[in-house]
Structure 1
């Protein structure tokens, strides 16, 4: 498998930092793909990031990309999005493609 060495664009990092404090949070990256944003969230100070994606191939590539990150895990199953021992509550913050593809922050 070919692993691309891309990183999150600085404009995305700035957007997240302006609206969300990820420092010390447990985050779920839904639709994580190759793990670019998952890795970036960990780099921004997230306590733990779980990347979830439907594609096993994407999960494999993302796992290899973040192999040196003890606070990042990847899985295809959504139950990993739940906090251990307290399955009724989601983790602190979920990231999806809403930041890139919607007008959420523009108020439309």
Structure 2
């Protein structure tokens, strides 16, 4: 069983007990969070797709920690113009472990 949910403008495909890095959430480490914007759920041969979201489906997750990903370099460069600009960026993330995918049968 897996689900696809929306968080931070991105879509994530998750299964139970999976650990993922998502866009930073404003919640404490050690707390639980529920995602309600479920786009799709699959249970063996049965697939349900929302329009745009499914009702009665929630994904529960445990917040493990917060962190920052590796640094990327942003370089702007114009040749023959004496212009070069370098900048670094580290994106904040929240590491969550999927506890359960609650699905209410109709």
TM class, shorter-length = under 0.3
Q: TM-score with structure 1 length normalisation?
A: 0.22
Q: Which has the higher helix share?
A: 1
Which has the greater radius of gyration?
Answer: 2
Where relative contact order (Cα < 8 A, 6+ residues apart) is larger, the structure is 2
Q: TM-score with structure 2 length normalisation?
A: 0.22
